[in-house]
Chain A
Amino acid sequence: MPKQTFPAKFEYLDEIREFVAQVAKQGGFSDKDIYSLQLASDEAASNIIEHAYEGITDATLDITCDMQADAIVITMRDQGASFDPSKAKQPDLKAELSERQIGGLGVYLMRKLMDELRYESKGKNNTLTMIKRKG
């Protein structure tokens, strides 16, 4: 199973998106789906770096990408503060410009772009699992 450890810094988002794209491409996902997977992974990793590891500069993030039958399973494991995206407030996408919320968009996109999101916090480890099926 392809697994990589990345420094938990925004500067590594490029490499994280590239890693996910490579596995998805080998797994036969379309270019449109690959973009969606890159975006969802970027939003997930950005949240971990920004919220779970807030104020911590030497942390790391373990990412695995695995093809299981017709689905890609992406997991991100961190040892930061617990941040459950499923509990994040849903942004109001119909709100007027002045009322639009600046936050919450990343999680909303993750939910929309993936078929399944799971979050587990056990001891020091937080694990986010994201699944998307082909087609």
Chain B
Amino acid sequence: MEITNQEFKHCDLLNVKGRVDSATAPEFSKALEKITEDGKYKIVIDMGELEYMSSAGFRALLAAQRNCKRYNRGEVVLVKVPERIREALELAGFTELFKTFDDPIEAVGNF
């Protein structure tokens, strides 16, 4: 797993590549927490190069979404969700909890 963060004026764009499982999810959580600890709650997660995500990653997404949406201060949105990962998120009932976009620019512009 590899994570990079790009800061925009109105949101942060987190790019997560590779595989998120129980071994790597803590690092993914940490990257999300680092943003919210800086007082920023508008986060775009680009999954274009994500190969795999287990429920450990889903839990990190859920915790971040809860934290960001509190007091209506922001939200987490997802971009370029690969088909297999989207199917698993759907199975877990997660798709209704996250707005999704096909284009990172569009997602960043959403904020």
Q: Nearest Cβ distance between residue A96 and chain B, in whole angstroms?
A: 9
A contact patch SS: helix
A93 touches B97 (CB 8 A): no
Tell me the B32-72 residues at the A interface (CB within 8 Å): 52, 54-56, 58-59, 62-63, 65-66, 69
Q: A32-B84, A93-B93, A112-B91 are in contact. Are A102 and B62 (CB under 8 A)?
A: yes
Q: A39-B54, A97-B97, A105-B58 are in contact. Are A11 and B23 (CB under 8 A)?
A: yes
**Do B21 and A42 touch across chains, with their CB atoms under 8 A apart?**
yes
Greatest chain A CB density within 10 A among B55, B66, B92, B93 is at B55
Contact of B22 among A10, A108, A112, A113 (CB under 8 A): A10
Taking the closest CB of chain A, its distance from the CB of B96, in whole angstroms, is: 9
B4 → chain A, closest Cβ, in Å? 21
B31 at the interface (CB under 8 A from A): no
Partner of B52, one of A38, A49, A102, A113: A38
Residues of A with C-beta under 8 A to B19: 14
| Total B residues in contact with A, Cβ cutoff 8 Å | 22
CB atoms of B93 and A109 under 8 A apart: no
Contact of A106 among B55, B62, B65 (CB under 8 A): B55
- Complex Cα distance, B54 from A35, in Å, reads 11
Output the least CB separation between B72 and chain A (Å).
12
B92 partner, pick from A35, A38, A46, A109, beta carbons under 8 A: A109
Say yes or no: A109 contacts B63, CB within 8 Å: no
- CB < 8 Å neighbour of B55 from A32, A93, A105: A105
The 5 closest A-B pairs by CB, nearest first: A93-B93, A10-B23, A105-B55, A10-B22, A46-B22
Given A10-B21, A10-B22, 10 further pairs, Cβ under 8 A: A43-B55, A46-B55, A49-B22, A94-B93, A105-B58, A105-B92, A108-B92, A109-B88, A109-B91, A113-B91
